[in-house]
Amino acid sequence: MKSDRLRLDLRSWCKRMSFLSAEFERRFEAKHGYPPGGNRLLLAGDDSDDIRLLADLGCATELLDFYAVVRQVSLPDLGNGTFVHSARHVLTGLRGAMPTLLGGVTEDPIIVFGSDGGGALFALSTSGRGVYRLFGGAFVAGTYDADQAGVTTVAPDLRRFLDTVLAELEGRTNE
């Protein structure tokens, strides 16, 4: 089954991310002259209620599969920061704390699942258009209104977004 295979792939991704984030942390202060900010991946724990509620709200299967394996990703020192929020955070977002529609130049239903340290949001298109990086728009009545410059497609799907994060961490660890 596709979902089972994805979870197996995610477990491999988690092992590699855990190893690399530990290495990144270990080498960070010697390279940069100040201590790291807690770069880590947290595995899923007792998040089943949040995942069930996300499913009830129609959350994308790829995010549900992700949260079955991973609680959250915190990489504050990777670039200007990369964060994949917890299922509970995403649930709060779907209940009104985050936009659920991309407006302006592109109209698309979205689920905000992450952010970077520079104020941008990462959102998964629920219509299959990929993962967006949203920056510089306005959040009004559930809609993220942005011009073309504020919306960038950074990956065709969640899996490739995660692979990009892994590749960036791998590159920074091997510098």
Provide long-range contacts, Cβ within 8 A and 24+ apart, for 57-64: 57/91, 57/94, 58/126, 59/90, 59/94, 59/111, 60/111, 60/124, 60/126, 60/158, 61/3, 62/6, 62/124, 62/157, 62/158, 62/159, 63/90, 63/111, 63/113, 63/124, 63/158
Q: Please tell me the pTM assigned to this model.
A: 0.93
Tokens of 107: 């109209």
Decide if pLDDT at 29 tops 70: yes
Percent of the chain residues topping a pLDDT of 90: 85
Mean pLDDT of the chain: 92
CA distance 144 to 93: 12
Q: What are the structural domains, with CATH classification, of the chain?
A: 2-173 (3.40.1580.10)
pLDDT of 118 above 70: yes
Name the helix (H) or strand (E) containing 83: strand 82-84
Residue with tokens 């529609």, as numbered in its chain: 101
The yes-or-no verdict on residue 128 having pLDDT over 60 is yes
Q: Which amino acid is at 19?
A: F
Question: How remote is the C-alpha of 133 from its chain's centroid?
Answer: 10
- CB–CB of 144/137 below 8 Å? yes
Tens of pLDDT, residues 72-109: 999 999 999 999 999 999 999 999 999 999 998 789 99
Q: How far apart are CA 126 and CA 24, in angstroms?
A: 33
Residue 8 has pLDDT above 90, yes or no: no
pLDDT at 5 over 60: no
Tokens, residue 148: 């073309």
